[in-house]
Amino acid sequence: MQIGEVSRRSGVSVRMLRHYDRIGLVRPSARTGAGYREYAQADLRRLFQVEALRTLSLPLAQVAAALDDPEFDAAAALSRLIGETEARISAERQLLGRLREIEATAPQGWDEALDVVELLTGLRSGTASDRQSAALRSGAAPQPVLGQLVDAYLAETEPSVAGALRWAIVQAGGPAVALLAARATDADPDVRSRIVWALTAVDSAASSAALAGFVDDPVPRIAGRAVLALASRQPPQPGPGLEQMCSRLVDMIAAGIDDVDAAEKLGALAALRDPGCSGGLSLAGVSGWV
């Protein structure tokens, strides 16, 4: 069987068959009197084996070793290929995520798209100053990028960068509150703390509703910050909600958590003549605030 027929049967180009012959990977068993390559059935079978191994992304040198070296470690080669493939898939998923983030901003041209790329790159920089600079520039960022800003803020551990990101998020108002509220049950107390800090900077009914969900937070500093913020706004009507806030304030005073602020807020709430708050003042030993 000559090279043209082998190419038609196998789907491998004549050029590639010549290359395989040149490197010794698949050599024809014979040549015709005119010097043409003559492939036997065994040659064709080896060619199919080569192509099968190539579908696994094995380099040609390893394909040759797999077929010719009795000591070739197939398990190790497969393990390496799996690791390389997983890394490649991860990189592709990250790329797909970035492309979708950019698409979500509906850029009107490449200039706008590049602005988004620059912003997202800055927010993910390993240098705090770069992240802070990106955060300060993001106050005018497209609305669809807000989700990335919130994610970056909640994951940020550098106080100066977190402050810049919080400022950028607060500029968005209501949409930012909705995104923050959606993460209110996060298991990480540091994340919940950052959520409360951001919510306290947005004075709205929606942010107050979101803050109310943190009054029972198991971490005292988080619950206390939410209570102080709520007590500084329009106070609730006398009843269970007000009693709950007063109880938290009393706990803060007893634990020494922002106790001065807590005592001031407790006194102000007690002025509403709610029995729960007035009793709390006596328990806290700050009756002189009324």
Q: So what's the pLDDT on residue 282?
A: 47
State pLDDT tens for residues 18-60: 999 999 999 999 998 888 899 999 999 999 999 999 999 899 9
State pLDDT tens for residues 227-256: 888 888 766 555 556 777 777 777 888 888
Place 64 in a pLDDT band, splitting at 50, 70 and 90. Answer: very high
DSSP assignment string, the chain: -BHHHHHHHH---HHHHHHHHHHTSS--SEE-TTS-EE--HHHHHHHHHHHHHHTTT--HHHHHHHHH-TT--HHHHHHHHHHHHHHHHHHHHHHHHHHHHHHHT--SSHHHHHHHHHHHHHHT-SSHHHHHHHHHHGGG--GGGHHHHHHHHHH---HHHHHHHHHHHHTT-HHHHHHHHTTTT-S-HHHHHHHHHHHHTS-SHHHHHHHHTTTT-SSHHHHHHHHHHHHHSSPPPTTHHHHHHHHHHHHHHHHTSSHHHHHHHHHHHHTTT-HHHHHHHHHHT-GGG-
Domain ranges of the chain: 3-72, 214-290
Q: So what's the pLDDT on residue 94?
A: 85
Query: CATH code for 3-72?
Result: 1.10.1660.10
